[in-house]
Amino acid sequence: MKGKDKTAEQRLKMINRYISKMPSLSTTVTKVMETCNNPAVSPNDLNRVISLDPVLTGQVIKLVNSAYYALVNEVTSLIRAIIMLGINTIKNLALSLSVMGVIKDRDAFRAFTIDEFWSHSICVGVSAKLIAAATGVPANESEEFFVAGLLHDLGKIPLNSCYPADYQAAVKAVKTENIPLYVAEQNLFGVNHCQVGGIIAEKWTLNLNLADTLNYHHFPDDPGIENKKFLTIITLADMIAHMLPIADWNRISFTGSAIENLAGRIDIDLDTFKELKAPVTAELEKARTFLQVTAQG
C-alpha cells in the first residue's frame, strides 16, 4: 500500500507540473469575469472589455448567429448580441470559447480523440441545460449549466497526456468491467480526473459552481459542495451522456434506482428524465457549432 501511495504521489506531482504549464485563460476573459462580478455591470461595460479582443468578438458574433441560438434576425454588433442574449450568457460564452481555444492540442489526446472528448462534454452541457430548464431554472441562468457540462471533464486531459499507455488501460476497463472511468483511473493511478480537474479550476480561478463541477461531478453527496442542486443536475446530465452513443468506449449503464434517487432530489421523476434523451440528441447537433467555431477561430 505504501508503494502504491508513493506512486500516486509521484504521478500527482507530474500532473501538477503539466497543469502549471497549461496556458492561462486569456486576459480578456479574466477581465470579463471580473467585470461581470460587479452587480451594477451593464451591456456597455461588457462590450468595452470584449471588443478589445477582435478574435473573441468575432467568435461571439459567429456563435450568436449560429443554429445553436436560432435567432430570427442576424446580429452584426457585439453590443446588440449582449443586449439580446444577456450579460450572463455572453460571459459564459466567452469563457467557453476561451477554454476550448486553450485545449486544442490534439497530441494531448491519446486514449480518445479531441472530437470524442468535446462531443461528450457538449452532450453533458446540452443535457444539463435541458434538465435545469425542466426544474424551472430561468433561461437567463441556464447557460451556466451548459458551460459547467462543457468543462466538467477537463481533468482527463493531463492524465491522458502524462500517462497515455496507462490511460488506454483505464479506458479499456470502462468497457470490459462496466465501471466508470474515474473508478478505473483511481485503480490505476491512485488519482482520478475529478481531483485533477479541481487543480485546473484553481489555476484558472473558476467560480464556485464550475470549480465544484470539476471536483465533484461524480460525487454529488460530497459534504464540501455548496450548491447541491447545481451539482445534481450536472451529475444527471453526465449520466445521460454516458448512456448515449457518443463514443463506444465511454458508454456505461446506470441502475434505475441510482438515477431515480438523484432525479428525486431536484423533483424530476424517472419518466421525465428518460424523455430528455430525445431532445438532447436533437440539441446536440446544434451545439456542435462550438467545436466548429473554436476549430476555425
Q: Encode pLDDT of 197-251 as tens digits.
A: 999 999 999 999 999 999 999 999 999 898 999 999 999 999 888 877 665 556 6
Q: Encode pLDDT of 79-134 as tens digits.
A: 999 998 899 889 988 898 888 888 877 666 777 778 888 888 988 999 999 999 99
How far apart, in whole angstroms, are the C-alpha atoms of residue 238 and residue 252?
A: 11
Half-sphere exposure of residue 202: CA atoms within 13 angstroms, side-chain side: 10
| pLDDT mean over 133-154 | 91
Q: What is the pLDDT of residue 40?
A: 92
Long-range CB pairs of 199-207 (<8 Å, 24+ gap) are: 199/15, 199/16, 199/19, 199/155, 200/19, 200/22, 200/154, 200/155, 200/158, 203/19, 203/20, 203/22, 203/24, 204/24, 204/25, 204/99, 205/33, 206/151, 207/33
What total number of domains does the chain contain?
A: 1
- Choose the weakest-confidence range: 4-18, 134-148, 215-229: 4-18
Judged on CB neighbours under 10 Å (0-12, 13-18, 19+), 86 is middle
CATH of the domain at 12: 1.10.3210.10
Residue with the bigger pLDDT between 294 and 166: it is: 166
Provide the residue range defining the domain that includes 131.
2-296
Cell representation of residue 227: 450548491
What interhelical angle do 54-64 and 78-85 show, nearest 10?
50
